[in-house]
Amino acid sequence: MAPEATVRHRKASPSKASKPSAATNTTASWVSKRHSKSSSAKHAQTFQAPPFTLKELRDAVPAECFKHNTLISLGYVAWDLALAGSLFYLATGIDNGWGGLVDASNPVVNFLFWCAYWVAQGVVCTGIWVIAHECGHGGFSAHRSLNHAVGWVLHSALLVPYFSWKITHGMHHKGCGNMDKDQVFVPHLRSDLAPRVREEQVNVPEHSQEEEHEGDMFESAPIVDLLRLLRQQLFGWPAYILMNVSGQRFGKWASHFHTTSPIFTPDQANQVILSDLGIFITLSILGFLGSQFGFMAVVKYYVIPYFWVNHWLVMITFLQHTDVRLPHYRGAEWTFLKGALCTVDRDFGILNFFFHRITDTHVVHHLFSNMPFYNAGVATEAVKAKLGDFYLYDNEPIFWSLWNSYRSCRFVEDEGNVLFYKR
């Protein structure tokens, strides 16, 4: 982790006095019509610390779930690469209708075929991304050098700085849910947002019906939130690795690409350089292919699927760690176990299969991150009974969940040690 002296974490600061709205006096009889999962009130009021230990959870998981099988892992790589290669090959025939098999001269038909390729290739390449992520955790193989070789090649091909991101992602796992140590989707503070205007100072009870009403009155227009959400889904990942957007605040430029970034320690410089080399090689190959086949060929075959991968990656990660039911912690209130449980398993339907179940087995992944990903389903079933109400699962339509979480999880308070999202 970065030296303590160089890190400027999100510190609590006194909240500014605000003034009541005209509607404050009428809130006593007001009843929220919002979806029950759009308010953290119930969860904040019933918060409890987990009554079990990490060892008890581990003992509940069959021992074979922790055993690596390199051949199985390599089989998943071969499967994903075969799917990606097959989709690429099929796409080469779109513009000529696969030799006249279909009439692709109609621009609408042609565009729809390309859309199908972009979506499908984005899904498959997200699965490749997930496997490289498992390599960084040591969940791919018991052989460290093989993990790093496979992870570096696969992530570099997707313009991910493998070792640099592996370092910060490890910090995320070690500090998940900790306001001062987590590395991604760190909540905004109330003081980060524009003050809500009232006529005079008034105390609004935390997580009360009055506060919920106030949140409704001052929320952004849906169209504004939609545009912001689209920005997050398209550019959130590049913004994170280039400028540490949504990460900790360091008071200066923090990036995954330079060796003096405050994210890293001096002894990690060689890993950053090796990560940059992988990106440079991929960009050079893309540049060469563009010179041979044209810029638009690179855009159609690689760049647009790349943005689909970014979308799925951001969506998966955001939904895993952003929910009104999830607490965040400060100071001594945080423990590794509490932090590991600050995540939600989500049902992505058939995409669970293509994403190697990182979506619906993420709780157990945070508990035992070096467990082989293909055993996480069995392990999840094993710990669910032990976790009880501490296991969070959501099978709502994923885009509906994305919208709900984005609109409901705006900030946490500047003060306090157990924090829940507010809007």
Which pLDDT belongs to residue 36?
52
16 pLDDT exceeds 50? no
Share of the chain above pLDDT 90, in %: 77
Residues 131, 135, 141, 147, Cα dihedral to 10°: 120
> How far, in Å, CA of 242 to CA of 255, rounded?
5
How many angstroms separate the Cα of 174 from the Cα of each of 14, 22, 262? 28, 45, 18
List, for residues 47-82, the tens digit of each pLDDT value.
788 999 999 999 999 999 999 999 999 999 999 999
Return the SS3 of 48. coil
How many CB atoms lie under 10 A from the CB of residue 1?
16
H or E element at residue 345: strand 345-346
**Max Cα-Cα span within the chain:** 73
List, for residues 184-232, the tens digit of each pLDDT value.
999 999 888 876 544 444 556 666 656 655 555 556 688 989 999 999 9
pTM for this model (two decimals): 0.86
Mean pLDDT of 96-124: 92
Average pLDDT, the chain: 88
13 pLDDT exceeds 60? no
Which of 32-36, 38-42, 119-123 is least confident? 32-36
- Would you say 61 and 224 are in contact if contact means Cβ atoms under 8 Å apart? no
Query: Which amino acid would we find at residue 98?
Result: W
Which of 414, 410, 386 minimizes the C-alpha distance to 187? 410
Structure tokens at 106: 């109609």
- Would you say 212 and 39 are in contact if contact means Cβ atoms under 8 Å apart? yes
> How far, in Å, CA of 145 to CA of 164, rounded?
16
Which of 63-77, 94-108, 331-345, 368-382 is least confident? 94-108
117 pLDDT exceeds 80? yes
Q: How far apart are the first and last CA of the chain?
A: 32
Which letter, b or e, does each residue of 136-165 get, where b requires 16 or more Cβ atoms within 10 Å of its Cβ? bbbbbbeeeeebbebbbbbbbbbbbbbbbb
Which pLDDT belongs to residue 154?
98
- Would you say 190 and 341 are in contact if contact means Cβ atoms under 8 Å apart? no
How many CB atoms lie under 10 A from the CB of residue 310?
23
Which pLDDT belongs to residue 217?
53
Structure tokens at 322: 């952003």
pLDDT confidence of 102, banded at 50, 70, 90?
confident
